[in-house]
Chains A and B, each alone.
Chain A
Amino acid sequence: MISQPAPAASETNYINEFGGLKSWLLTGDHKRIAILYLISVTFFFFLGSVAAAMIRWELTAPAGVVLESDTYNKVFSSHGVIMVFTFLVVAIPSVFGNFFLPIMIGARDMAFPRLNLLSWYLYMAGGILILAGMINGGVDGGWTFYTPYSSMYSNSNVTLVLTGVFIIGFSSITTGINFIVTTHKMRAPGMTWFRLPLFVWAHYATAVVIILGTPVVAITLLLVVFERAFKLPIFNPELGGDPVLFQHLFWFYSHPAVYIMILPAFGIISELIANFARKRVFGYHFIAFSTLAIAGLGFLVWGHHMFISSQSMYQGIVFSLISFLVAVPSAIKVFNWTATLYKANIRLQSPMLYALGFIGLFTVGGLTGLFLGSMGTDVHLTATYFVVAHFHYVMVGGTMTAFLGGLHYWWPKMTGRLYAEGLAKANAIIVFLGFNLTFFPQFIVGWLGMPRRYHYYYLAPEYQVYNIMSTLGSGFLGIGFLLPAFYLSKSLMNGRKASANPWGAHGLEWEIPSPPPSTNFLQIPIVLDEVYDFDPVTEYEQDRAQQAIEHAHEHPGMMDSHDETASKLEEGGH
């Protein structure tokens, strides 16, 4: 790529160019908005985790520990609502998408900076309403808000919380519109569609799902609010309304929403795999198109959430079949990432550890999805902990792991500081092990029949051992989430300064200073190369030189260190 004039010596960047709280709260800079989002989603993730910890603690004993049944209902509902609507749907697109999509395509900003800022305010307004509802009496019925319970019977704060979710929906929509227009219209000269980093493809597909799905769930939830507030009868069975219709409309969005949560994660993983395997991703076009295929097929499978909700057998068969088809593009991705690793010069730095963990966890999550997508097994497994384990493998093992991987990968670029790599590597392993200990036993206990959302299981005390394992694992997982908060914040205070490209990665974001200047590029780049354009020979030589330097640092006395390292490398290389 025709790159930038050498990074300017001046220390002006997007963080320190303008000072004061007001300059942050009224900013149009996509990077600052991403930081605002990073702080907010971390806050909401913390609250959701506290709720998760309460659930896990409560389930250690067959008859419960401290919570009343009613409180338990509210706690697991809060966990679901907060995690889904204020973290998973929002986190990766609004933090990393916001920060890096414009930079990766060589643009100075999003197409609509003020709309971008509006999306953060909508998010905060919705989030505060949700929290207000939860603090002021709580909400029950789970994050799915099935009618008629939510519309006619629940006496908790459904109206307030749904209004909050509705508003957050518009925050998603504005972000989606921005991504679509930015990707279409703001690419730098020479940045063709097939030179786009796969991260951009993933966010483009996500944006398409957002703008098609979110309005549908928005109006559906609004109808529930209106039914509660103004007696507008749409899902009321007493008047001939169909409560199952709510489920159709809800899952028409909320199944694609699963892809809103996981497609951006795929994007991060593609970046990590290519840049730490130091190779062009195997089958770039296939990964790009499989992203679009998942986005498209995702709209045709909602009925697999409703196999036991009175839908006809033939409808079930069709939904089951199409659900199976989603496995094809998903598998294309997993196989292509794995093929990229083959004979690659892999660097096991902390972001890569998360990426490798992701591939394993997502595969388990995806394959168990097939169990649930086939009607016979689904009847047995519906609403058991097997389902809980399945979607936590995809959402936590997938999206959350990718979020952490992306956070570690781009932290030096976003903040200009390097964190403690050793701790970060250890943390990746803690998260992986803690996660599996938490959620794998849930597959088993679900298979044995433990229903989700139940408060007690004293009639089946044999479930206890799995629940205790699960709770123990969640403790490790909690450490795995707190530790990065500690060492990443510490790096802000006394971390070493990051160079423009600490990983030796490819991509426009690594050609500008860390942290980037407010306008991203001093002049708009002209892109001449393919994406992930690693030259194997150069890579090998650079690697050898780097290792020789490290070796020389460790053993200053040895003169022949260079040759030794080289011969070691050749031995270990195959």
Chain B
Amino acid sequence: MIKRLLIANRGEIAVRIIRAARELGIHTIQVYSAADADSLAVKLADEAVLIGPPQAAKSYLNVPAILDGAKRSNADAVHPGYGFLAESAGFAEAVTNAGLTFVGPSAEAIRLMGDKVAARKAALAAGVPCVPGSAGRIDEPATALAVAKSTGFPIMIKAAAGGGGRGIRIANDLEEFERLMPQASAEAQAAFGDGGLYLEKVIERARHIEVQILGDGKRVIHCFERECSLQRRRQKVWEEAPSPVLPDDIRQKLCASAVALAEAVHYCGAGTLEYLYDDQARDFYFIEMNTRIQVEHPVTEFITGIDLVREMIRVAGGEPLRMAQADVRRQGHAIEVRINAEDPARNFLPSPGTVSALRVPGGNGVRFDTLLYAGYTIPPFYDSLLGKLIVWDETREAALARLKGALADLEIVGVHTTKTLHQALASDAAVAAARFDTRWLERWLEQNGPRLAEAGPEQAREVAAK
């Protein structure tokens, strides 16, 4: 049993974890940097411990400083949240080696899923469909050529040791492939000290669908899927559960595949398996697993009634999963929109500053998870997420209507936010029809972005009508 939980994160997720922990009777200890002394999480936690200067590298990413904070405050467990050290196998290991409980999967599971080639191999071994391509890394040009011919074009050439988009090339035909392959290998060797490559077919016009799972190390259940196709620069801005386009038979197969892969790695805690979904061919492909709680977890909580953060803390404390798969039912539709301190009219320029006044939406089926309070000064050192507005209703149509009302009620005075973007999206015909893919929003923004300038609700509605 966990008695004293150190929250090794900040912002809205720290607030979320504090609330889940205190409902379990757990004493909460919030770490904070010098820039976060006034944060809501510090105010709400039972105690707080300073771990360093504002820069994340010296505070929230500083493993010795966090472990020292845990020691000083007598913590017996550490929750990593999302971002920062949440998917660092080294951090999970250091926490465990210090004799503390890590609220998350084992360092081995984090390491396995963090390695793209190893994760793909594990998925294929568990019978989970992956994006067509090479089974593992490729070092021989002849092998690469054979794989490319059988997979088809366009095809992505990726560095086995790569990440963050580096070392990726797209070949549209065989000729281009033969020209790019040696370049990609040389670049991978130069950039990562490893010329190994792997190949993946380019899935055009795909949707992003992910499956939430919970495991206790022996058993894994799924809590259905979320769709997060509305993205900007690979960052999700709007998420829903369930996916509005997934047929029931495909949903069953998709969720079963996620459980099979998570069980194969003896997964413990909350995790998410991300897939690309081709809604024309009705095919899904595993892309990666996130071994942590995700930003968009509340939409799943709304449709299933399961408190995911509470369950991950219980499981980390040694309890078995409390529910069987048949106990997990879904009802209605939930939508989450991310409210960021960014100006959508000025290419999403960050907008830190002081929130002089705040009006928070409420009512049935409305939830606002935030780090804000009136008078709070948003520090410039961390990401721009201020909060998440989540709505639930019986149908997607009703949820969209409720979202519009909740957005109108939300007022954040003093900084620019992405509220106007979401108002325009909530009134958009393509969004209402769920007619989008992962690149839809960027195309839409090219047309509509500048018109979100200083937009009040009326102007945002006008934009959506065009």
Q: Do A and B bind each other?
A: no
